[in-house]
Structure 1
Amino acid sequence: MKIGIKKKMFMIALMGGLMMMGMNGNTAVAASPNENPFGLVYGNAIEKNEPGKVNIRPVEYEVDGIKVAANLYLPADYDEKSDKKYAAITVAHPNGGSKEQVAGLYAQRLAELGYITVAADARYQGASGGTPRLRDYPSNRIEDVSGMVDYLSTLNKVDRARIASLGICGGGGYTLAAAQTDKRIKAVATLSMFNSGRVRRNGFHDADIAGIPSRLQKAADAREKELSGDIVYEGFLPPNATDDDLRAKMAELPENTLYRDGIEYYGLTHRHPNATGSYTTESLMKLMAFDVEDRMDLIDQPLLMMAGDKADTLYMTEDAFAKASGTTDKELFLIKGASHIRTYWVPEYVDEAVNKLAEFYGKRL
């Protein structure tokens, strides 16, 4: 873990991650960040920039004075000297994740379809700036999505009238919130959407509403400790755990569930040093007052929400989708057989999601 996590991490309700390698002999093998020159850990990731293929450019820009680290993906036919303008798509990563994981995979796949895409580390997380580290305020994550739109709008090759967004897991909830008010986003899609505020407030599946006062008190206590520089964290990955520790923790949890699969994806098969699966406990003060469902009626853009039909998080997508009354151009798309995190890496599920995104963005951009 970066930045020395001092306090024990609680498995309250976090984000989205995905599961294990090796299904049906059709595995997209993930690399170690040390093996890929760009630190990418998803299968079939770019290893070098070549003419006539999708290229990647590490870039930096600022949002509210804080540095953002991002990867810009350019389509195979990209030519700085041509007159062609490209549609572009922002990709927001899951809670506790990084741009080198599933967000990068989908950004690369969308660039293969001809879009300029950007996957950025949220501020206070990953390689982006901001202290204290791992602060997770909804307002920051929402502004990060609009910040990606800002960045794309500065590029000469981007058609500003054709910018769209994709959000994955927690990044999906924050992308929906951004689209509610940022109408530069012309079409919005989510994959395995995770309503961070609802889960942090009510517990997973709203199973711990009675615990709201104690969580708020815990957040207040953590904020008080921050005054003396003692940062307290929450998370689903046990700190300083060995691979054997993680496997033992997984064995305690039901198969094909968010937290079991998250431990495997983030802790074992797609591990990245910038993806800790953690957030500051004090963040609960802001998280618990947020719920993306509250203003879903403000989305009047085309809307696509995708999720695995076996996902234990599906209720979040279904409930938010039902409240999106401001658009008549909307679709709920279920990926058969997929759990939440398997949509992040299992080739057949990724292909199905990408094919649906190709159809969706192709008609709206």
Structure 2
Amino acid sequence: MALDNRESVTVKTPYWDIAADIYFPPDFDASSKYPAIVSMHPIGSCKEQTSGNVYGTALADEGFVVIAFDASFQGASGGEPRFIEDPTQRVKDVSHVIDHLVTLPYVDENRIGIIGVCGGGGYSINAATTERRIKAVASITGVNFGRLMHEAFSGYDPIGTLEAVAAQRTAEARGEELKVNNLLPANPQVAAEQGITEIDVSEATEYYRTPRGEKPGGATSSLFSHQATAVGWDAFNRLEVLLTQPMIIVIGDKPGAFGAYRDGIEAYRRAASKDKELVVAEGFSHYDLYDKPEPVGIALSNVVPFFKKHL
């Protein structure tokens, strides 16, 4: 397995270092040239959660060099204060990771793709609109984080949320304690006690708050005073003009509050890509596509040949 053939690297940027893991194909030969794939983790997550240990490993086993990285302000990457989910920064990070890839003698700079899970899927789509070194893009149960912040995560009151964020940021600038929101219940039992039955929230708790998916760098926390950028951001801005690369979108057909099904349909419909695929994993939900063998198998059975064709 490629998981045993992995190197931790530091990606230099003008602002701080980004932590990343590079997954190598079996029988890797540093004197050869390989197609490479950037792998983006979910919102408030880390590279050890699904982007690296599931999709990164599987794609490396199929002959790709894969780099899974921690977003700025999260995981083992730099950036202070912590727990910021800044979509514009996330997309900037992608270009710096690609800057690192193109310096590696074994990476073919003309065969670089990107894949992302959950919010990482939305970021992958957005990054591909302006980063032309990306030649093919895959979104696994991708979510448009800007849409989610504008709607459910702001209680469908984006202006009220922005006013509250502004007040909190002023307070923190004057020395008050940082307001960090924990986005999920402590564990599934607490979620049940709270009467949480919505599929995405309950399954997120089951993934992030149990040994199934819990990792030291996967905080699922958010610094409230820095949420304004996300409220005004849109992962799908100008897809009709700018997203021309081949694209594949994988979603489950059991929709939840985070909106991956809805967002996947929208991105597929709007993208200018002449070569685009929509894969619906029937009977599966958003978090099933993180790590469960059958739905992940459905995703990979389509994503692997897609990348082999276009990279």
Per the normalisation by structure 2, the TM-score is 0.93
Provide the secondary structure at the position in 1 that maps to 2:237: helix
CA RMSD of aligned residues (A): 1.7
Amino acid at match of 2:96: G
Task: Tell me if structure 2 keeps the 8 A contact 1:292–1:320.
Answer: no
Cα separation, partners in 2 of 1:151 and 1:226, compared to 1, 3 Å: same
Q: Which of 217, 234, 237 is residue 181 of structure 2 equivalent to?
A: 234
Bigger share in helix: 2
Aligned-partner SS, 1:348: helix
Distance 1:147 1:198 in 2: 25
Matched, 1:195 2:138: no
Aligned to 1:322: 269
Asked if residue 125 in structure 1 is aligned to residue 74 in structure 2, the reply is: yes
After TM superposition, give the deviation of residue 318 of structure 1 in Å.
1.0
Alignment partner, residue 9 of structure 2: 59
2:65 paired residue among 112, 116, 139: 116
Q: Hey, what's the Cα distance between the residues in 2 that align with 1:172 and 1:146?
A: 16
Deviations, residues 319-354 of structure 1 (Å, cap 9, x unaligned): 222211x21111111111110001011101111111
Over 3 Å counting, the alpha-carbon distance change for 1:275 and 1:250 in structure 2 is: farther
Query: What is the CA–CA distance in structure 1 between the aligned matches of 2:184 and 2:215, rounded to whole Å?
Result: 13
- The 5-angstrom pairing of residues 98-177 of structure 1 reads 98-104=46-52, 105-177=54-126
Q: Secondary structure at the match of 1:338?
A: strand
- Which residue of 2 is the match for residue 94 of structure 1? 42
**Of residues 291, 304, 316 in structure 1, which corresponds to 2:248?**
304
**Residue 229 (structure 1) shift:** 5.3
Residues 2 and 61 of structure 2 are in contact (CA less than 8 Å); yes or no, is this contact kept in structure 1?
no
Question: For residue 296 of structure 2, what is the aligned residue in structure 1?
Answer: 350
Q: What secondary structure sits across from 1:118 in the alignment?
A: strand
Q: Deviations over 1:231-282 (max 9, x none)?
A: 11234224xx4x4xx4231452226x11111111011121112111112112
Give me the whole-angstrom Cα distance separating, in 2, the residues matched to 1:271 and 1:280: 20
Q: Which has the higher contact order (CA 8 A, sep 6+)?
A: 1
Identity between Structure 1 and Structure 2 (%): 35
CA distances 1:121-156 after superposition (whole Å, capped 9, x unpaired): 001100101000011111100111222211111110
Matches within 5 A, 1:24-43: none
Would the alpha carbon gap of residues 91 and 280 (structure 1) be closer, same or farther in structure 2, given more than 3 Å must change? same
Matched residue of 2:214: which SS?
A: coil
Whole-Å Cα distance in 1 between the matches of residues 14 and 172 of structure 2? 22
Work out which of the residue numbers 238, 243, 250 in structure 2 matches 1:295.
Answer: 238
For 1:343 and 1:109, how far apart are their aligned partners in 2?
14
1:156 aligns to what SS in structure 2?
Answer: coil
Q: Secondary structure at the match of 1:292?
A: coil
**Paired residues for 1:267-286 under 5 Å:** 267-268=209-210, 269-286=212-229
Contact (CA 8 Å) 2:33, 2:108: kept in 1 or not? yes
User: Which whole-Å CA distance do the structure 1 matches of 2:16 and 2:244 have between them?
Assistant: 30
Please give the alpha-carbon distance, in whole angstroms, between the structure 2 residues aligned to 1:237 and 1:284: 17
In the alignment, structure 1 residue 253 sits paired with structure 2 residue 196 = yes
Whole-Å separation in 2 of the counterparts to 1:154 and 1:74 = 16
In structure 2, what is the Cα distance between the partners aligned to 1:191 and 1:226? 36
Distance across 1 between alignment mates of 2:165 and 2:213: 30
SS of residue in 2 equivalent to 1:123: coil
SS of aligned partner of 1:293: coil
- 272-281 vs 124-133, greater mean Cα deviation: 272-281
The answer on whether the counterparts of 2:2 and 2:23 sit within 8 Å (CA) in structure 1 is no
Report the CA distance between 1:163 and its aligned residue.
Answer: 0.3
Give, in whole Å, the separation in 2 of the partners of 1:321 and 1:303.
8
Amino acid in the other structure paired with 1:249 = A
Q: 313-322 or 193-202: which moved more?
A: 313-322
Q: Which amino acid aligns with 1:259?
A: V
Q: Work out the CA distance in 2 between the residues paired with 1:196 and 1:295.
A: 16
> What residue identity is the alignment partner of 2:226?
S
Q: 1:86 to 1:56 in 2, by over 3 A?
A: same
